[in-house]
């Protein structure tokens, strides 16, 4: 095993949005040059919510194209669909014997997603983090680059790894570290409400910026983004209590690669009438080239399928010795 192995995934539902891009994908892209990386489309996780089969099928290719357009390079990283490597499901089942109901009961994502309809939620939504643990432990990942919202799932993965190793007296699973921040925005918030995160499930499309948005749409969404009437302050602490302002400044910093302080030095004293056009331009400069590459990649679905197939074969090779050891540890194999 190399010193640093990076594993992360994204659900292929809806369009890739700015939260995904700034919270995770741009860091994935950078890590490709620093470590051995595996990135996958979490299509099995997508089954835990209501599924429209034809939509899921087309979203898988669309998300694959969006990630490659954003800079994921299948020549550098192992890039594949989770469902194409059955070891994820098999290890997930083995780990369900290790994970505790009490641990899963504490998962805030399950509480948020099931809402008031807990009894009507799918069992898969409840055990979702165990499959996520299998995704990570199968490859003995050391680092898992994710947005803030996934931190609890990575901590659960650590607990599962440690309990399995202890219960079965093996030194098999590597407790991974979540890798959050590092020059990117850990938590990108909705453009309509600075207290809720930007997400693909928000009913208002004005709340998020999608990679497929036109330049005009991006500029308009930023123009209409919720703000407050105060000018921008000269220090980051003064943004506390101003969630919308904090979010827009954080986005600007992540997009341009500057620190929040640097951004504030430039814009302090100015109102949003000056800041928003600059932010719109920075976003268009980031997204327009990605959108152009996405348009091209979409034209060759057979090539996307070929790339994903090759990635799945490599991932299966990497994961199979670990799965075999897990099977042996629990007594399913000699
Ligand atoms: P998903 O598909 O919801 O999101 C993919 C990545 O984008 C990050 N993200 C955000 N970051 C900052 N601000 C936001 N508003 C924002 N919205 C999304 C997420 O934190 C994530 O890193 N369960 C995972 C997928 C998964 C996975 C895994 C991740 C399955 N198996 C194994 C890591 C390792 C999910 O639903 O992400």
What does the DSSP assignment read for 247-278? Answer: HHHHHHHHHHT--HHHHHHHHTT--HHHHHHH
Distances (CA, A) of 165 to 156, 158, 162, 320: 14, 11, 5, 18
- Pick the residue whose CA is nearest to atom 16 on ligand 1: 19
Q: Write down the residue that tokens 């099995």 correspond to.
A: 44
CA nearest ligand 1 atom 31, residue: 132
Domain-embedded: residue 195: no
User: Do 169 and 42 belong together in one domain?
Assistant: yes
**221 in the same domain as 178:** no
Q: Say yes or no: CB of residue 129 within 6 Å of ligand 1.
A: no
The span from the CA of 23 to the CA of 150, in Å, is 10
Which residues are marked as active site? 113, 197, 200
Query: How high does pLDDT run on average in the chain?
Result: 95
Residue 192 reports pLDDT greater than 60: yes
Cα(133) to centroid(ligand 1), Å: 13
What pLDDT score does 27 carry? 92
The atom of ligand 1 lying closest to the CA of 141 is 34
pLDDT score, position 1: 45
pLDDT tens-place string over residues 67-112: 999 999 999 999 999 999 999 999 999 999 999 999 999 999 999 9
Are 102 and 216 in the same domain? Answer: no
Q: What is the pTM of this model?
A: 0.95
Nearest residue by C-alpha to atom 1 in ligand 1 = 10
Task: Give the span between the Cα atoms of 155 and 5, in whole angstroms.
Answer: 17
Is 303 a residue whose pLDDT tops 80?
yes
Is the same domain home to 38 and 148?
A: yes
- Atom 24 (ligand 1): residue with closest C-alpha? 10
Q: What is the CATH number of the domain that holds 109?
A: 3.40.50.620
CA 166 – ligand 1 centroid, Å:
29
Q: Report pLDDT digits (tens) over 220-256.
A: 999 999 999 999 999 999 999 999 999 999 999 999 9
Number of domains in the chain: 2
Instruction: Answer yes or no: do 116 and 245 share one domain.
Output: no
**Ligand 1 proximity of 247 Cβ (cutoff 6 Å):** no
Under the banding of pLDDT at 50, 70 and 90, the label for residue 181 is low
Residue 231 lies in domain: 205-296
Q: In this structure, what is the dihedral angle of CA atoms 110, 112, 114, 119, given to the nearest 10 degrees?
A: 80
**Chain segment 9-51, per-residue pLDDT in tens:** 999 998 899 999 998 999 999 999 999 999 999 999 999 999 9
Residues 138 and 229 in one domain: no
Quick one: what percent of the chain has pLDDT higher than 70?
98
Residue 182 has pLDDT above 90, yes or no: no
pLDDT-derived band at 306 (thresholds 50, 70, 90) equals very high
Contacts of 220 (CB under 8 A, 6+ apart): none
> In this structure, are 161 and 32 located in the same domain?
yes
Q: Is the pLDDT of residue 183 over 80?
A: no
């Amino acid at each position: 095993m190399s010193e640093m192995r990076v594993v992360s995934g994204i659900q292929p539902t809806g369009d890739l949005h700015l939260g995904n891009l700034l919270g995770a994908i741009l860091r994935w892209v950078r890590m490709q040059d620093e470590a051995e990386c595996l990135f996958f489309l979490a299509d099995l996780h997508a089954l835990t919510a209501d599924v429209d089969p034809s939509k899921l099928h087309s979203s898988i290719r669309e998300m694959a194209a969006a990630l490659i357009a954003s800079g994921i390079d299948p020549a550098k990283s192992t890039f594949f669909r989770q469902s194409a490597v059955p070891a994820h499901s098999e290890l997930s089942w083995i780990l369900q014997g290790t994970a505790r109901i009490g641990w899963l009961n504490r998962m805030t994502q399950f509480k948020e997603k099931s809402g008031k309809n807990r009894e009507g939620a799918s069992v898969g939504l409840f055990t979702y983090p165990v499959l996520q643990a299998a995704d990570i432990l199968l490859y003995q990942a050391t680092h898992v680059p994710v947005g803030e919202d996934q931190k609890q799932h990575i901590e659960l993965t650590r607990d599962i790894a440690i309990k399995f190793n202890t219960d079965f007296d093996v030194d098999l699973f590597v407790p991974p570290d979540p890798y959050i921040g590092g020059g990117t925005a850990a938590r990108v918030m909705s453009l309509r409400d600075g207290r809720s995160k930007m997400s693909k499930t928000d009913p208002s499309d004005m709340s998020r910026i999608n990679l497929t948005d036109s330049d005009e749409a991006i500029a308009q969404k930023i123009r209409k983004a919720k703000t407050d009437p105060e000018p921008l302050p000269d220090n980051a602490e003064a943004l506390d209590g101003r969630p919308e302002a904090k979010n827009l400044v954080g986005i600007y910093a992540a997009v341009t690669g500057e620190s929040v302080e640097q951004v504030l030095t430039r814009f302090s004293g100015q109102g949003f009438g000056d800041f928003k056009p600059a932010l719109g331009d920075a976003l268009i400069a980031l997204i327009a080239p990605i959108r152009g590459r996405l348009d091209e990649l979409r034209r060759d679905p057979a090539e996307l399928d070929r790339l994903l197939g090759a990635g799945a074969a490599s991932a299966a090779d990497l994961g199979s010795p670990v799965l075999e050891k897990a099977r042996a540890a629990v007594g399913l194999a000699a």
